Amino acid sequence: MLGSCAKPIGTYTGTGTSSPGADKNNNNDANNYNNPNPPLEELIEPDKSLKYAIGWSQIIIYGNYAKTTVSYGAHFKTAPNHQQKEAWGVLSLQLWNRLTKFTNQSIEKPLEESDGVLPIPNGNESRYRESGLLVQLKTDKDKDLVTLFQMGYDGIYTQIKDKSLAMSLLKVVDEVIDVVYKEDA
């Protein structure tokens, strides 16, 4: 049990350099210092909780002339980034949750060759035509990597039967490629 002197210190939402204990009468980030005892519902927001990877441990993305590995917990490693260096980082919670949601849903049903191809998302045709795209998944039950997407002559081939779900996941993968490419080493 904590001693009587242990009290919550509150949450700080400012982005500047001033300390939370600074004079609150001036217009600095000290004004963003919140109630030291916020209600529990302010601390826990269900839509902002971390989603878990179910049945898989890594997504490997080859696109934009780079190899990116995203592991559970939203951690990624990419090479090369925009500075032509290796970079590491963490995806935003919102991006990770969307990636996890669509990936989890994609592997709930067996993957198999589907008919037709998907269009290239977000008008990035030149990027994928030049550098290609390959998205593989390391699942808990397969020793080999499972291919989710692969760039072809006509567009992007997928093993996900549900085209709407496949397109949703592909758009998130495209966003991941953009985010990790900009990551500083």
Question: Does 119 fall in a domain?
Answer: yes
Domain ranges, residue 21: 8-44
Of the pLDDT bands very low, low, confident and very high (cuts 50, 70, 90), residue 59 is very high
Q: Are residues 104 and 81 in the same domain?
A: yes
What is the arithmetic mean of pLDDT over 97-104?
94
Residue 15 has pLDDT above 90, yes or no: no
Q: Are residues 61 and 133 in the same domain?
A: yes
Q: Are residues 65 and 151 in the same domain?
A: yes
- Provide, rounded to the nearest whole percent, the portion of the chain with pLDDT above 90: 30
Going 144 to 145 to 148 to 150, the CA torsion angle's sign is: negative
Question: Does 1 fall in a domain?
Answer: no
**pLDDT value for 64:** 84
Q: Are residues 76 and 164 in the same domain?
A: yes
Question: Does 49 fall in a domain?
Answer: no
**pLDDT value for 9:** 36
Question: Range with the lowest mean pLDDT among 3-7, 85-89, 126-130, 181-185?
Answer: 3-7
Residue 20 has pLDDT above 50, yes or no: no
Of the pLDDT bands very low, low, confident and very high (cuts 50, 70, 90), residue 79 is confident
